[in-house]
Amino acid sequence: MSICPTAIETERLILRAPIPADAQSIFNAYAQDPEVTRYLTWQPHQSVADAERVIANSIAAWEQGTSFPYVIKLNDSGQVIGMIRVNIDRFKVELGYVLARAYWRKGYMTEAVRGVIDWAFTQPHIYRVAAVCDVENAASARVMEKAGMKREGVHKRYTVHPNISDEPRDCYSYAATK
């Protein structure tokens, strides 16, 4: 099985493996923002040290080949605007993503997701790219739909989103297949 490339380029974005110097940008851009983290599986960061731990874990995941988190940067300015995580499980890819609020509603996350899907479907052993979102997260659902993913159903009591509830919440399941 092939490993993810260290960078994926789209028209406006560069998705690349994180480096320690990204921590401050990640913290400033989105990681401490309660609105951005509302539907995520982690709580807002309290300090840059939290972002440094995420980056260290992300680098370790790359080195171990267990997960492939990408920092999302704008091509023109180099500004870090989010992250997208790629997990490969034999013949399928699972995604998770986050985008700084200042960049919402500009098509950036749809472009990043589409970039990952396009790369994945060039791999002969990958047949499915999937992701989930909270049933109340209409913006994330729309991103996946615009990226070409289809809603497959609802997973009942599937994921804990600690910024909303301590109990598992229902999530939509989306996928694109080749």
* pLDDT tens-digit series, residues 96-128: 999 999 999 999 999 999 999 999 999 999 999
Rounded CA gap, 79 and 144, in Å? 23
Inside any domain, residue 30: yes
The count of structural domains within the chain is 1
Report the pLDDT value the prediction gives residue 13, as an integer from 0 to 100.
98
**Residue 1: band (very low, low, confident or very high) from pLDDT cuts 50, 70, 90:** very low
Instruction: Give the three-state DSSP class for 15.
Output: strand
In 18-167, beta strands by DSSP E: 68-74, 80-89, 92-99, 128-134, 150-160
Contact call for residues 81 and 15 (beta carbons, < 8 A): no
Cα–Cα dist 155/88, whole Å: 20
2-22: average pLDDT: 94
CATH number of the domain to which 117 belongs: 3.40.630.30
* Average pLDDT value for residue range 73-95: 96
36-43 average pLDDT score: 96
* DSSP letter, residue 166: S
Residue 1 lies in a domain: no
The answer to whether position 25 is within a domain reads: yes
| Distance spanning both ends of the chain, measured CA to CA | 17
The per-residue pLDDT of the chain, averaged, comes to 96
Mean of the pLDDT values across residues 91-95?
96
| Least confident range of 2-6, 25-29, 99-103, 173-177 | 2-6
Name the residue range of residue 106's domain: 7-177
For the stretch 128-174, pLDDT in tens is 999 999 999 999 999 999 999 999 999 999 999 999 999 999 999 99
| Entry pTM | 0.95
Tell me whether residue 2 is in a domain.
Answer: no
Residue 160 covered by a domain: yes
On whether residue 77 sits in a domain, the answer given is yes
Could you tell me whether strands 80-89 and 92-99 are parallel, antiparallel, or unpaired per DSSP bridges? Answer: antiparallel
